[in-house]
Homo-oligomer: A and B are copies of this chain.
Amino acid sequence: MLGLMQDWPLLLHRIIDHAAIQHGTREVVSRAVEDGALRRRSYVEIRSRALKVAKRLQREGIALGDRIATLAWNTDRHLELWYGISGIGAITHTVNPRLFPEQIAWIVGHAEDRLLFLDLTFVPMIEAIQDKLPSIERYVVLTDAAHMPQTGLRNAVAYEDWLAESDDDFAWGRFDENTAAGLCYTSGTTGGPKGVLYSHRSNVLHALACAAPDYMGLSARDTVMPVVPLFHANSWSLAYSAPMTGAKLVMPGARLDGPSLHQLLEEEGVTMTAAVPTVWLGLLQHLEATNGKLSTLKRVVIGGSACPRAMTETFERKFGVTVAHAWGMTEMSPLGSFCSLKPVYEGLSGDALYDLKVKQGHPPFTVEFRLTDDAGTDLPWDGRTFGRLKVRGPAVAGGYYRRGDDILDDRGFFDTGDVATIDPAGYMQVTDRSKDVIKSGGEWISSIDLENLAVGHPDVAEAAVIGVAHPKWDERPLLVIVPKPGRTPGKDEILAFMTGKIAKWWLPDDVVLVEAIPHTATGKIQKTKLREMFRDYRLPG
């Protein structure tokens, strides 16, 4: 027997409708890409402009299921495009501008994007690869006529001119809540990029679950600055959860340096913000240099695979700002867990608190965790045993765009590719990537733990650990080091430094000095390439 409640599909434009109706005067403040000036709009205006976008797209011939690429910073224009595109059932393909140009050409071709909306910043890059983007019918530059550059981009038009050909007398599309709304490709350290195809339903549920007090904790009284980009999997839900709750939005545009962010934090009264550690490093260095204050900020969400403990301590002890470490991935919309305090840990303070806060934390309702060995057998949640971390939920990928492979296990869980422990209180801690963990005699050794330990040596600038074949143990760890300028630490010296700080059988079998370690476009160590470099390497006797 079915219930008798109303049929009210979870559609993304209902969020901007709610913001306009219930929080209409709240602002979306954006730093203009053109000149860095601040532009103020209300949610009423954002909704009106999103409706214009939707109507204008239809006139452009865009229909349900079409892919529209954006290559853009966090601004009001990106936000209104976002709602306008999904509002007719088309799909926003947010392209990460940090990818290599060839990768961008590949994913735009794979997605068969029909239009590309791009910020001024990216015009030269796209001009250079335009001939590799045959699917793009038209380029819309996110600016007005006054700032429109001379460009050879096909059918190029200034966004404000394009939008002026429309009005907001438009009704949002009506379609299934499982309709695709967004497309985001993983940067993919192995294999080609893979497209995650979000739905209206998945994004709405993700935003609802993440807005709760122990996660993003958003209120109508908050002022939220998403430094994490819209092109990075929905800016960790903030492009949806902030309008959903009526929080004011502060969009930093192209300027993510410490002084620019600090100005916005203080002048706009930001109470909550979110970004990766490198961004906060810049801010904290600026505050240090200028003896700056954070007078309104209450909470910082720090994402990425790991959050440096010293950064958490500085925010909390020096500035009185609470830090929550968040973990997730493109395939999870992206949020999977937050390191907020459950009662069992509520009394912690000092070192014990910061030991906990380096963990990736616990999942909200709608995210399920599973920890297994390679054979798929469940492992204990004891805080010590590490295994493959698998996840399940309505905002977790069930497949990739235009790939037929089945990516779920026998119980419907997606393998994150992370190796982790989970403690009895449900707190997860990532210890490695599963393809990087070293499998020695049936036991696993965390390459990340060894790297973190090695970089503590005063002569080491960067360290990477890979597994190399071993006749008896299957694999053993090889430590690859970039020494600091002018230093040449010896193998025995490094190993002596590490001894006693880890289990004896974790100690690398060899240490090799190199000039540089290869990185991906987004700055991660490229271990596939490193393994290739050491393909013919043999461990000493």
Contact = CB atoms under 8 A, between A and B. Distances in A.
Interface string A179-195: 11100000000000000
Contact of A392 (B6, B218, B219): B6
Interface stretch (A16-24, A69-77, A225-233, A459-467): A16-24
B365 A3 contact: no
A65 B4 CA distance: 13
A268 interface: no
A211 B209 CA distance: 9
Interface in A1-37: 1-8, 10, 14-15, 18, 21-26
Copies of this subunit: 2
Contact of A178 (B2, B15, B363, B365): B2
Contacts of A217: 213
A3 to B, nearest CB: 3
B343 A197 contact: no
A178 B5 CA distance: 8
Contacts of A487: none
Chain A interface size, under 10 / 10 to 19 / 20 to 34 / 35 or more: 35 or more
Interface stretch (A52-60, A98-106, A395-403): A395-403
Given A1-B65, A22-B363, A213-B213, A221 B6 contact: no
Q: Which 10 A-B pairs have the closest CB atoms?
A: A3-B199, A1-B65, A8-B394, A5-B202, A6-B398, A4-B197, A213-B219, A3-B180, A4-B399, A22-B426
Question: Majority SS of interface residues in chain A?
Answer: loop
Interface in A106-135: none
25 contacts: A1-B91, A1-B180, A2-B176, A2-B178, A2-B180, A3-B199, A4-B199, A6-B398, A15-B365, A22-B363, A23-B426, A24-B426, A25-B344, A208-B208, A208-B365, A212-B218, A213-B213, A213-B245, A214-B219, A214-B220, A220-B340, A220-B342, A221-B341, A244-B365, A248-B343
Interface in A145-189: 176, 178-181
Contact of A397 (B4, B26, B198): B4
Residue of A22, A180, A392 contacting most chain B CB atoms (<10 Å) = A22
A253 B176 CA distance: 43
Contacts of A340: 219-220
A214 B245 contact: yes
A414 interface: yes
A14 to B, nearest CB: 7
A179 B343 CA distance: 34
Contacts of A64: 1
